Structure 1
Amino acid sequence: MRIIFAGTPPFAAAALNALADAGHEIVLVLTQPDRPAGRGMKLTPSAVKQAALARGLAVSQPASLKTQEAQAELREANADVMVVAAYGLILPQAVLDLPRLGCLNIHASLLPRWRGAAPIQRAILAGDTETGITIMQMDAGLDTGAMLSKVALPIGDADTAASLHDALAVAGADAIVAALAHLADLAPVAQNDTLATYAAKLSKEEAQLDWRQPAAALARAVRAYCPVPGAWTLLDGAPLKIWAARAVDGAGEAGEILRADGDQLVVACGAGALALLELQPAGSKRMTAQAFLAGRPCAPGTHLGR
């Protein structure tokens, strides 16, 4: 099958590689323009661009798909289908109408739950016990198209956004290959809009822990914001990232350090307490609570978040 593939991050690169390995003809790869990254802010190609170039595939990086030039390039590709995964650009109706078999999206949730930009993180934050992959027909709405197939995955108590992303990337790659192999037999199912939830884009500000929240909710937040943007709090006015934590028993004023000795750094929450397991002070590396306390003693009664 002749495919135009559109995607940007590693989640999408996994699907691109799977489609190529399955023998499909990838006639054009669309991805976001190179972005500054790393300490030197050097222009860096996306994971999808790197995967495409490694396979000798044609790559295009338009800033928009609304221009006549961009649409002409897609038209000339003469694709049977367009596969989209975390691309980052809106597909206008003129583009949606180009491929003979339409445009299919690989979405990292069980639609209609968690439409939008951050479905993996929002599922963890909400305490969902499962998520998955939905292959859907794209329309002009935000993840509103008819569903062709679904694959469910459990969310484990220790899953972070990073670990769940990796599992979903593999599941998404397998799901799109299977969907294209049986496309003629898949019956589109309309989404129930009344069950839809919105997965808003993440911000650094929301990743600041509110110690008035229950410990269980804060433990989920630490997992959901790992690795980006990273859960954080304040200690003596300086930011302190928290990479791993778990809910434990304990009571005190919200944000109060209850225990700070050996490998124990326990903070009171609105309900229960949070044991901080892995931290990163500003300007330093990630470290265990024990290593942190060895270099920065914290007296019980000290408050985080200030």
Structure 2
Amino acid sequence: MRRFSFNFLRFNFKIFLLIVLLLSFTGGLALARHLHPLAARTSRAASIQAASTVQAVDRDDPVPHLLFNALTAGGARLETMGLEAWGSLNSTFMDGEAIQDLAGRAATALGLEGITSFTRQDDAGFHALFWEGELQPGVVLYFSLQSLAGAGEGGETYLLINLEGQPKQGEGEMLAWQEKVREAFRPWQVEPHLIYNLTGVIPGKLTPAEREQRARAVLAALAAEKVEGVEDEELLSISAYTPRLPRSLEVAGRPVNANVALRYHATDDNTYLHLGSPLLGGEY
């Protein structure tokens, strides 16, 4: 299972993750060739803010239903799922004591009333509190509140939440996660940006033609058109756009809101189908 990495946040948060996003489109996929499908992936929250145009989203978000249907269309058995949420709580650089108070309020909204101790990091122009633990059996929650000073500006304070685990109820459980993270942002009247990821298993190794057929079945279920792709002996990754998904990113002047990837792993003789919206990123 992946681990959410926060150490890079002492640097320029938005610029660093913009670089990560651009690298993921040009060469990042190839770097993950020999990694396990559940390896750690870098958070994409601020990279999306820095390099995308995000459309308005209704409260009745259709994304989970569409993604679960598409994973089924690809012939994969659901193994893990993840939901990342992020949002700016205010345009202010806050001191350590102030974010301690905010972190407590957010933790309570997440149902973590008993959490009083956070991992803390304080640097010049940066304060952060982190917490990691099981929300329920088999489901891990990563939680971070960060405040960054701006160059000539007031700064900004972010809340980031990452849920990942092996689902028992599939789509219904994802909807429950979605409501839980929205509740955490509600005290600040912030609608969080949501990033969805599903991982399914297909036994054995697929031929290139079979791999292509599975990817096309996923895109057809989403009524999505391919924007660009990466392919080698073990990996096929396609980014696409569909008007059925309400949030999209503008990358190099082209909208993208779905990403499907299939990778074979000889260690367990399985092919893993990864499906994300608006994007998959990092290593998979």
Q: TM-score, normalised by structure 1?
A: 0.21
Higher strand share: 2
Which of 1 and 2 has greater Rg? 1
